[in-house]
Amino acid sequence: MPEAGAGAEAEVSAACRALAQRLGLGEVRPRVIGRFSNLVLALEPTPWVARVATGTAGPRAEPAWARREIALAQALQAGGASVGAPAPGTLAGPHREAGWRITLWRGLDLRPQPPEARQAGRALAACHAVLATLPAALVPGLAVPEPWAPLDEARRLLATAPSGPATAALPGDVRADLLARLDTLACALRAHPAPLQWLHGDAQVNNVRALQADPAASVWLDWEDACRGPLEWDLAGLVGAGRIFGGPEQAWAEAALAGWREQGPPIDAALLDACIEARALFVVAWTAWLGPDLPGRRERLAVRLAWLRGRGQSGGGAAASALIPEASPRRP
């Protein structure tokens, strides 16, 4: 399912108005404040923001995704981590209105640009410290995702990406090569003895912002991709794109990683390298599903594919094989 266009945005706005009436919030004026794989709308004049699954709704149709995101955000907030807060109690949802899955969150006055990088890294480390204390079963009756679930999702997306622009962007021979690379990496990653815990799942620069009132405070947002795995998976999200694209993007990412290291445990370098490659495959899979037609997305897809080709030519399954002979020591 591609991102919501103007017609879909009108439908989503109507659904938000109907939901607000049903929940007793009165008349609201939905205003789109974020567009990407989901729509984010301020429900003015209330203090609530609606997150509406659009692009991710197809592969993630089950309400468990939204329930897990809300439960994790609540636990993180209770643990003192700096995260976006869901609306209280059942008001948070997830709700279903006119076919759309909607969750409600407390609105924040955020700065549009990324926060200071080291502070963002330290805030992520603080989130990880809280996440490490949480049980695998967050909520009674809520299924626990398998470790390394993003690898399974990437495989499904690569195998079933819709026709159209995605087919042209990833022809069959390219898709087959990516699937083979992913399978090799997945086997090595699953065999690695690194400790597993809850993770953000998409800990990259677009999901952290500073408060207008306190630019030194970094807030981690959008926990939809939350999963269970080693810390290196989240750190691959933090630095992976920077190492692929270079320039200011890499400078911010490396500074954020340095901030994370100030508070986080030691990192397994070989595992991080393999996770960066696996995450690049994950992002390529999602780009193919969503369609590469948003401004800049096709160009970034081409750079990622070239980077992956270069990795393959320089050593085939080097990232995977580096994990197999002797895994780095487990963290205490």
Domain regions of the chain by residue span: 6-61+84-106, 117-321
pLDDT at 280: 97
What pLDDT, on a 0 to 100 scale, did the predictor assign at position 172? 83
Q: How far apart are CA 320 and CA 236, in angstroms?
A: 15
Q: How far apart are CA 42 and CA 104, in angstroms?
A: 10
Q: DSSP E strands: which ranges in the chain?
A: 29-35, 38-44, 48-53, 95-97, 100-106, 197-199, 208-210, 218-220, 227-229
pLDDT, position 143 = 84
- Backbone φ and ψ of 76, nearest 5°: -65, -45
Q: How far apart are CA 207 and CA 194, in angstroms?
A: 25
What pLDDT, on a 0 to 100 scale, did the predictor assign at position 327? 44
Q: What is the pLDDT of residue 187?
A: 95
Q: What share of the chain is helix, strand, coil (3-state, %, to 5)?
A: 50, 15, 35
Q: Taking the C-alpha atoms of 120, 295, 31 and 102 in order, what is their torsion angle to the nearest 10 degrees?
A: -70
- Residue 4 backbone phi and psi in degrees, to 5: -70, 130
Amino acid at 194: A
Cross-strand pairs, 34: 40
The backbone torsions φ and ψ at residue 103, rounded to the nearest 5 degrees and listed phi first, read -120, 150
pLDDT score at 319 = 67
Q: Cα separation of 120 and 253, whole Å?
A: 10
**What pLDDT score does 328 carry?**
46
Instruction: Provide the residue-wise pLDDT of the chain in tens; the chain has 332 residues.
Output: 344 555 789 999 999 999 999 999 999 999 999 887 789 999 999 999 999 988 776 778 788 889 999 999 999 999 999 999 999 999 999 999 999 999 999 999 999 889 999 999 999 999 999 999 999 998 888 888 899 999 999 999 998 856 555 566 788 888 999 999 999 999 999 999 999 999 999 999 999 999 999 988 899 999 999 999 999 999 999 999 999 999 999 999 999 999 999 999 999 999 999 999 999 999 999 888 887 666 678 899 999 999 999 987 765 556 665 665 444 444 44
Structural tokens at position 176: 């087959």
Both tokens of 211, joined, read 């408060």
Q: Give the N- to C-terminal CA distance of the chain in Å, as an integer.
A: 42
Class of domain 117-321: alpha beta
Rounded to an integer, what distance in angstroms lies between the CA atom of residue 299 and that of residue 287?
11
Q: What is the pLDDT of residue 163?
A: 57
Structure tokens at 23: 């929940």
